[in-house]
Structure 1
Amino acid sequence: MSGTREEMVKSALKLCLNVVKSYEWLLDLYVLDFFVDDHWMKLPKLWRDSFSEMDPQDLGNILIGHLVRILTYKYNLSTMGIEMQTKLSEEARKLDLELEYTVKKYISEESISKLLRPIHFNITLSSLDQLNEISLSKHLHNYGLIGLHPCGDLGPLLIKHFLSSEKVRFICVVGCCYMKLSNNCGYPLSQYAKSKDSHLSYVSREIACHAIETYTQKLCIGDYKDLKVHAYRAALEKLLIQMDPTLKHMPIRSVKHTQNMTFESYCTAALEKLSYQTLYDENIEEDLKQWKRVVVLYTLRLMLAPLVETVILLDRMLYILEHGISCEIYPVFDPKISPRNHIIVGRRT
């Protein structure tokens, strides 16, 4: 049965990889280079003819600390939360104490003394060895791993630790920050994906992290004028490169669109901490008239984003199945609240 399951996942992954391969030219486009590299002309002519005058509306018609607290105090489970930022661990401990202070009003001191308490551990994980070196209670013979939106390679590291240690009986991982995955540790994981010479660019992995449902909702109700900021950023990129080619993809201040924001006010805010305050090109107004085309291109790329995430999730699932362990993927969160809403569950029998 597991063999059949593995073949089904391979078949699904193969189909996804084929589509990603066909459209990687689109996935790999930087929207901020829209005017610099004339991205519109890179679309097939039939697409340009269809989308040229189309309204975008028609196209779109501190968590771990809370988790271990609930598992420990409510379900009496031994837990350890791994966090990179010391400040977040300190805040988690503070909330633990506040909770205990509150429950003293309702239960006895003896009951309080018998409570299991969560452990908050600070470390920046970059290798499997670091996970193996974390000291656990001598009385702890079996345990599970829960990764609630682990950033970058942390998710794959947790999966590898699960597979390498018989003590780990289950794993639950909800992915996050796919653009921070490394090629040697994060993706691909499965032998099957590696045999296909599968590669996902930084840009394609980055767009797989976007809040698609929220974006789609904006398009469907026609509330997308704030998306004009993408065109402003692309126009500013063109001006910066015209002035100095070494400024390509230079980090600038992130600016949220506000009502009646002009391109000039956007540039002033974006370059506030830099010395480039007076930028102008006589053709820029013509470029800005194409702002809806920028939104269309961005939306086309976003349509493929769930496919990229599916490739990453199926690769992780297949990696676990290749080790003879049962694995499933479930949608568990409202994607409007948590865009990364799929959980990978692996269980040892």
Structure 2
Amino acid sequence: MFDVVGVECDQLLCNAGKKRYPSLKYENLTLKTADVDRERVLNILCGQKGERSAIVSLHGCGDLQPDLLQWFTKLPKHRVPLLFTVGCCYHKMSCAGKPVMEWALSNALRSVCRNNWVLHKSALRLACQGQLSRWPSSKEERDAHCACFLRRALLECVYERSGINAVKRFPRHLNRSFRELQSVGIEIAERLKLDGEERAKMIREYRNTYLDHQYLFDTVEPFTMLQALMQMPLESLILTDRYLYLMESGCATYVLPLFDSKISPRNFCLVGCHTD
């Protein structure tokens, strides 16, 4: 028998979890703040006195995975011998966009970093996108992928030209499921319920944007293929750093693919085990 304790920094999500799974215990806990309650963190992660705990994180978003790794290396070995964590959303790290030296955990990576070497947020975001195994194989799938990419890219240009903040104003579904690439301007004007001059302006802006960038359309497939090829090296750098950090801390460490990456690209589990 074992007990499951859910740990979450957002009190609203803790409350929602209690309603959905009332048999589980939930702790509202923040791991990374200037005034973190170290004693409380240790007590929660170590579990009940006389028992042993494992830390399991299946979506270690942003700072969560590196924070858990650092806490794990400080916990009593006999109380918390195991860590299982799947990282995600590397671009949401608080140090994202800053020199690699500021987020690298291992001495091995830090020793080869130039002080000004930066992996930009776009690279960290690419590191947690789909792996090459998810690249569309048939011509029909590739054509659909390129069309989807172009629609989003052209709309971003239109929104920028029009002074529209699409992220804040529009639900995600408004920018999806269009029919023809050339008619997107008309469709988005209908979805936004524009009329008169606003409607005409949106349609005109889209048509002009389409014509201005049409010469680039054939570069979309090789460009997105290059992105897919870069994903694994970028994620490998991050995972290797975290793997080496645990190794340097005296832990037996493994990186295990949990399932087929076609199911989900976030399939690498970092396993740490305190050794005697």
Q: TM-score band (shorter)?
A: 0.7 to 0.9
User: 2:92 aligns to what?
Assistant: 180
Higher relative contact order (CA 8 A, sep 6+): 1
Q: Deviations over 1:103-151 (max 9, x none)?
A: xxxxxxxxxxxxxx53212234324944642344552453221111111
Distance 1:334 1:122, change over 3 A: farther
User: 2:230 aligns to what?
Assistant: 304
User: 2:129 aligns to what?
Assistant: 210
Paired residues in the alignment total 251
- Provide the rounded CA distance (Å) in 1 between the counterparts of 2:220 and 2:89: 24
Match of 1:201 among 114, 120, 124: 120
Match of 1:268 among 189, 201, 209: 189
| Structure 1 residue 299, shift from structure 2 partner | 2.2
| Structure 1 residue 230, shift from structure 2 partner | 2.3
- Provide the rounded CA distance (Å) in 1 between the counterparts of 2:111 and 2:193: 48
Please tell me whether residue 330 in structure 1 is matched to residue 256 in structure 2: yes
User: 2:82 aligns to what?
Assistant: 170
Please tell me whether residue 151 in structure 1 is matched to residue 58 in structure 2: no
User: 1:11 aligns to what?
Assistant: none
Contact 2:56-2:84 at 8 Å conserved across structures: yes
User: 2:271 aligns to what?
Assistant: 345
- Provide the rounded CA distance (Å) in 2 between the counterparts of 1:328 and 1:337: 21
**Secondary structure at 2:88's aligned position in 1?**
coil
Matched to 1:80, the amino acid is V
Match of 2:176 among 256, 273, 276: 256
Contact 1:320-1:346 at 8 Å conserved across structures: yes
Can you give the 5+ residue segments of structure 2 that lack an aligned partner in the other structure? none
| Structure 1 residue 320, shift from structure 2 partner | 0.7
Match of 1:126 among 22, 32, 38: 32
- Provide the rounded CA distance (Å) in 1 between the counterparts of 2:75 and 2:108: 23
| Structure 1 residue 305, shift from structure 2 partner | 0.7
| Structure 1 residue 223, shift from structure 2 partner | 1.6
Q: Deviations over 1:206-234 (max 9, x none)?
A: 01221235741x34352232542322333
| Structure 1 residue 297, shift from structure 2 partner | 1.1
Match of 2:147 among 228, 231, 245: 228
Distance 1:292 1:271, change over 3 A: farther
**Secondary structure at 1:304's aligned position in 2?**
helix
| Structure 1 residue 272, shift from structure 2 partner | 6.8
User: 1:189 aligns to what?
Assistant: 105
Contact 1:332-1:342 at 8 Å conserved across structures: yes
| CA RMSD, Structure 1 to Structure 2 (Å) | 3.3
Match of 2:4 among 57, 79, 100: 79
Distance 1:318 1:210, change over 3 A: same
Distance 1:228 1:131, change over 3 A: farther
Contact 2:106-2:244 at 8 Å conserved across structures: yes
- Provide the rounded CA distance (Å) in 1 between the counterparts of 2:272 and 2:9: 24
| Structure 1 residue 289, shift from structure 2 partner | 5.7
TM-score, length-scaled by structure 1: 0.61
Distance 1:189 1:231, change over 3 A: same
**Secondary structure at 2:226's aligned position in 1?**
helix
- Provide the rounded CA distance (Å) in 1 between the counterparts of 2:52 and 2:131: 38
User: 1:57 aligns to what?
Assistant: none
- Provide the rounded CA distance (Å) in 2 between the counterparts of 1:294 and 1:121: 46
| Structure 1 residue 326, shift from structure 2 partner | 1.3
- Provide the rounded CA distance (Å) in 2 between the counterparts of 1:190 and 1:223: 40
- Provide the rounded CA distance (Å) in 2 between the counterparts of 1:269 and 1:188: 48
Contact 1:82-1:121 at 8 Å conserved across structures: yes
Contact 1:236-1:267 at 8 Å conserved across structures: no
Distance 1:270 1:215, change over 3 A: farther
| Structure 1 residue 82, shift from structure 2 partner | 1.0
- Provide the rounded CA distance (Å) in 2 between the counterparts of 1:95 and 1:240: 39
Distance 1:199 1:282, change over 3 A: closer
